[in-house]
Chain A
Amino acid sequence: MKAKNIIITILLTALAVIWILPIYWMIVMAITPNDLLKLSSTALWPQGFTIENFLGVLKIGLTLRWFLNSLIVTILGTALTLVLQSMAAYAFAKMRFKGRQLLFSLTLAGLMVPKEAMFIPLFLMFAQVSGHNTYAALYLPRVAIPMGVFIMAQFFKGIPDSVTEAAQIDGATPLRTFFKIIMPMSVPALTSVGIFTYILTWNDYLWPLVSATRKEMFTITTGLASLQGNFAQATELGSLMARGVIAGLPLFILFLIFQRHLIRGISMSSGGKY
């Protein structure tokens, strides 16, 4: 048993090093002066040290506003997605109604539509109601992406009918059953959907680019992109990496905070089996 564990740990450690290496390299470049990187970028140890690449971004007056915009859009988008989509998923998974199969297939179909094809119709739709440069334009389309419905529906299907039936016998309304019983049971799945939605919304670039065109409405992705000159990877590689770190760091911290909800607290003997 012991030997197997050691081998597995070695394997996992090696893989973890491989996985982290590019990020480590990214950070090294982020703290290296741009000039040194023009000549050579393969060093795994910083050729020089500077915080200018970071300061260059943080000194810009609007960076805080961009962060705030991203925060608002992402929080609202994620909250709405979690609530609306899991409710719909529950109906699909656990309730019977006419047209259920059809609607569910329709919902699934939405995942298979290349968003590049719908981009312009969606853009024109908002343009017609002068809806651009608003937060709603940024988060509402995300709530419409049915990935959460699909994921949660699969997980809800796994909940035995006996649970919902028992609640019904106790006199609970479907709404109450859903929020008081089903949701708490589904924390790992909800956490997954939440994390994915949060990250994808935060990193969205093309849509905020064309919709939020005023400087004050930029998200952090478009705001940082607006700083970029032509051929930036040849002339300001360190700055580019620093911006990447700045944009990704909040998401990373968020993952650290919420990832424990992916695992159930109850000690599971399955965990000890490996």
Chain B
Amino acid sequence: MKKLIILFLCLTVTLSLYANGGAEQQSGSEEGGVVVLELARFFGEPDDSLMDSTDLSKANSEAATIQILTNIFNEEHQGEIRVEKLGGSKWGSFYDQLNTTFAANDPPDVAVMHQSNMPAYASRSLLVALDDYYTEYNLNPSDWTAPAKKAISYEGSSYGVPFDLHGNLLHVNVDLFKQAGLVDEDGVPILPTNTEEWFEHAQIMKEKTGKLYWVEDATQFPISFRLFHSLMEQQGVPVVNTNTNKVNIDSAAGKKALNFMLKRFEEGYSDPNADYTAAGELFMNGEAAIEMNGTWVVDQYSQELTFDYRAMNFPNLMGQKKVWANSHMWVIPKQKESNRQYEAAMKFCKFLGDHVYEWAAGSGHIAPRKSALNKLSENNIPQRANYAETASNASTFPPVINYSNIETIIKEEVEKTWLLDESVDSVLQQAQKRVEAVLKE
């Protein structure tokens, strides 16, 4: 009996050395000449019922929309191209997985990327520059908004097809604003136009309703970094000037931005310990009048909130109308061989670029094409008109190679002022030094 078990185990081990993931191709050509495209993306998976759907009316989330779009493409190109999704990562591990494919010189054929991360790959010549191919494949670069064009470019070349811009918005509890008397004659909430007004309004809100004026994730994700960047951009001082390689964190602008951020917590108008979910809960439960969050929660809030909700553009507090944004784009990694993959990949990217309207409608993100933006306003998709301006105010971070490192440094340093009681001056100096060291590498 024991010998049998041992034999069985040895057999299984030997067999398992050859077992692999089935007949599905991961990339390359199949019999019949079908080009198989390997697609790397996050966004998750929709309900099982939607996994094979081609019905765009069911696209009510990021996951559903991208899956349905992929299915439609596969259907339209049956016998010619088939797109296969790679990998099993959740959002946080996407780049870890993607990076190993680059390390092994076997990257996917098409991948989604954030604008903030793209420079790391573009600077290493790992992506195909697409400038010469847009017209050939019938894409319309002039239809892209200025922020979208900026998002895909690095050192003079364009490396992707923009899919969306996603930025910070203010999610506003209109009922609380009405209660505080901070609405205009149409009942639209009045937002501050500078920092003094901000504190005045916050005080009014406190007195009239007893609720927090404004919350955001102050501790978990790098939201405080995004706010800092927004405020710097509003003052016309980029955090990093990529032309001169100069860092502007420890500056008058930096001080003004951080002092404002800190004062909101010190005066009790915001919650310095809120993480992402807590900030959301505070807002959804009516404990905070404004939540600074992204475009991705617009549809959820529209459908679920019981009070009068309005998504609004991030206010101009320090000079210019600017707000942090990032962008999803589709890139084509360079492959060891085969033009056929590039053609098919470009076709897929064009297809996705043609459907940015559906993506924006289904996900809440901002479309990168002017034609789509117009259509969204016309078709009265909930809330979109209320933050349409963000499409032009969107300000992506300057294209740096070590984005994640810089993002973490700034977030970590600025939060020391409200979590560790360090002084504004000292954290700005530390952040300046650390970021300069990173840029030197």
Q: 0/1 per residue, A104-138, Cβ < 8 Å to B? A: 00000000000000001001100100000111100
Residues of chain A contacted by B85 (CB below 8 angstroms)? 215
A226 near B89: Cβ-Cβ < 8 Å: yes
The reply to whether A230 and B44 form a contact with Cβ atoms under 8 Å apart is: yes
User: A8-16, A165-173, A185-193, A205-213: which lies at the B interface?
Assistant: A205-213
Residue of A at shortest CB range from B13?
Answer: A76
Contact indicator B21/A39 (Cβ below 8 Å): no
Interface size on B, as a range, is 35 or more
* A228 part of interface (Cβ distance < 8 Å): yes
Q: How far is the CA of A139 from the CA of B13 in the complex (A)?
A: 10
- Binary interface encoding of chain B residues 23-54 relative to chain A, with 1 for a CB under 8 A from any of its CBs, else 0: 01010000000000000001111011001000
Tell me, yes or no, whether B125 is within 8 Å of chain A by CB. Answer: no
Residues of A within 8 A of B285 (CB): 39-40
On whether the beta carbons of B89 and A216 are closer than 8 Å, the reply is no
In the complex, are the beta carbons of A127 and B104 less than 8 A apart?
A: yes
Cα-based distance from A234 to B284 in the complex (angstroms) = 12
A2 at the interface (CB under 8 A from B): no
Does B300 make an interface contact (CB < 8 A)?
yes
Complex CA–CA separation, A41 to B45 (angstroms) = 24
Interface pair B103/A123, CB less than 8 Å apart: yes
A57 to B107, CA, bound (A): 29
Query: Is A154 among interface residues, defined by CB-CB distance under 8 A?
Result: no
Q: Is the CB of B21 within 8 A of A133?
A: yes
Asked if B100 CB lies within 8 Å of chain A CBs, one says yes
Q: How far is B95's CA from A37's CA once the two chains are assembled, in angstroms? A: 29
Q: Does A160 contact B (CB under 8 A)?
A: no
Nearest B residue to A73 via CB reads B16
Partner of B17, one of A136, A205, A231: A136
Q: How close is B14's CB to chain A, nearest CB, in angstroms?
A: 10
Cα distance, A35 to B20, chains bound together (Å)? 39
Q: Which residues from chain B contact A39 at a C-beta distance below 8 Å?
A: 281, 284-285
B residues near A134, Cβ cutoff 8 Å: 16-20
A72 pairs with B16, CB closer than 8 A: yes
Closest to A119 in B: B100
A60 at the interface (CB under 8 A from B): yes
- For B21, give its contact among A79, A217, A235 (CB under 8 Å): A217
Which residues from chain B contact A40 at a C-beta distance below 8 Å?
281, 285
CB-defined contacts of A245 to chain B, threshold 8 Å: none
Chain B residues in 8 Å Cβ range of A225: 88-90, 93
Chain B residues, CB < 8 A from A41: 277, 281
Q: Are B16 and A228 in contact (CB under 8 A)?
A: no
A201 interface hit (Cβ, 8 Å): no
- Can you report 21 residue pairs joining A to B where beta carbons are below 8 Å apart? A38-B280, A39-B285, A40-B285, A56-B47, A60-B51, A76-B16, A123-B103, A124-B103, A134-B17, A134-B18, A135-B16, A136-B16, A206-B96, A212-B88, A213-B86, A216-B24, A217-B21, A222-B88, A226-B90, A234-B276, A234-B280
Closest 10 CB pairs of A and B: A229-B44, A222-B88, A214-B21, A226-B88, A127-B104, A217-B21, A135-B16, A228-B90, A225-B90, A210-B100
* Besides A139-B16, A213-B26, A215-B21, 18 new A-B residue pairs in contact (Cβ under 8 A), listed by A number: A56-B47, A120-B103, A127-B104, A208-B88, A209-B88, A212-B21, A212-B88, A213-B86, A213-B87, A213-B88, A213-B97, A214-B21, A214-B26, A214-B86, A222-B87, A226-B89, A228-B44, A229-B43
